[in-house]
Amino acid sequence: MCTAATYLTDHFFFGRNLDYERGFGERVTVTPRSFPLPMRHLNEVTQHYAMIGMASVQAGYPLYYDAVNEKGLCIAGLNFVSSAVYRPCPAEGRGVAQFELIPWLLGSCAGVDEACRLLEGVCITDDAFLPGLPPAKLHWLLADRRRCVVIEQTADGLHIYDDPAGVLTNEPPFPLQMFQLNNYAQLSARPPENRFSPALPLRAYSRGMGAMGLPGDLSSQSRFVRTAFTRLNSASGTGVAEGASQLFHILGAAAQQRGCCVLEDGACELTLYTSCCDADTGVYYYTTYDSGHVSAVDMHREELDGAALISYPLDDVWQVRLQN
């Protein structure tokens, strides 16, 4: 299970938690402009926008979980196991394999509006990347600083939904996630009035009572509501440090701790990493479950006109800065 969110100050930030029981050798990966992107059903893309994100590199190809391109367009794929439906490539029309979608959109488009036009008439196909590696069932949060949308392909076709909450988790389909926010319309960051005993303000009892009823469990729907509330009420100053730190805290409200979500086989799901892309500067910040600090890779410090992937292993070592 996963959570993704956008956050806009004087910079545009985009990030996600990746929640799973194990990693797949993911690395922070830069795809430069001349790295060839073969396509199963379309022409190979040989020149495209550069991008950076978290990917599992398999057979020399970046299988991105989330990424941002040099124009500030961001995307993250989140598990959508019960509802995602992929199909064979239609005889007429355009087919894009599930694993091609992120590099194809980021390589081709400078913004959300352009990406939505590119997706018109597209079918996300069920092609396996390799034998024994079937397509992951996902839906996607796609955003720039002006617009945020959700991409889903279900039994009745491909849908693109505007996302005013700027948040996405897993199941159910996005319209149902948004509808559930109606059940929490009374929540507020401000203290409520004690109508039964006006002489005893509730703030004297406890701070934070305006959010009474905010769900705290780890289910997808509860994480969606909690992250939407936290994001809506977040206040940040200007600058990269405050904005990126705030997005890490927004996503931290939905993070999963080891041992709290036990699966059928006894394994525990946890937040393997949290990312925060500064879409304005091309810097990819991240933390891992065990590291305890923020690491970063700057896309623009790499040779972006090259043709070879650049990737960095995750900094996953606990570090403490002693002050005495």
Distances (CA, A) of 44 to 37, 145, 156, 185: 6, 29, 29, 48
Domain boundaries, the chain: 2-173+215-313
What CATH class does 2-173+215-313 carry?
alpha beta
Rounded CA separation 297/59 (Å): 23
Amino acid (1-letter code) at residue 164: P
Question: What letter does residue 297 receive in the DSSP assignment?
Answer: E
Q: CA of 37: how far to CAs of 43, 62, 100, 101, 308, in Å? A: 9, 10, 8, 11, 11
DSSP structure class, residue 322: -
The confidence score (pLDDT) of residue 56 equals 96
Q: How many CB atoms lie within 10 A of CB 318?
A: 9
Tens of pLDDT, residue by residue over 49-75, are: 999 999 999 999 999 999 999 999 999
Report the pLDDT value the prediction gives residue 45, as an integer from 0 to 100.
Answer: 93
Q: Quick one: the chain helix, strand, coil %, rounded to 5? A: 20, 30, 50
* HSE (side-chain half, CA atoms, 13 Å) at 150: 30
- DSSP secondary-structure letter at 261? S
Q: Indicate which residues carry an active-site annotation.
A: 2
Indicate the pTM of the whole model: 0.93
132: left (phi over 0), alpha (psi -120 to 50) or beta: left
Per-residue pLDDT, 209: 76
244-286 pLDDT per residue, tens = 999 999 999 999 999 888 888 988 889 999 999 999 999 999 9
Q: What percentage of the chain exceeds 90 in pLDDT?
A: 79
Instruction: Report residue 151: phi and psi, to 5°.
Output: -110, 125
Q: Say what the pLDDT of residue 205 is.
A: 67
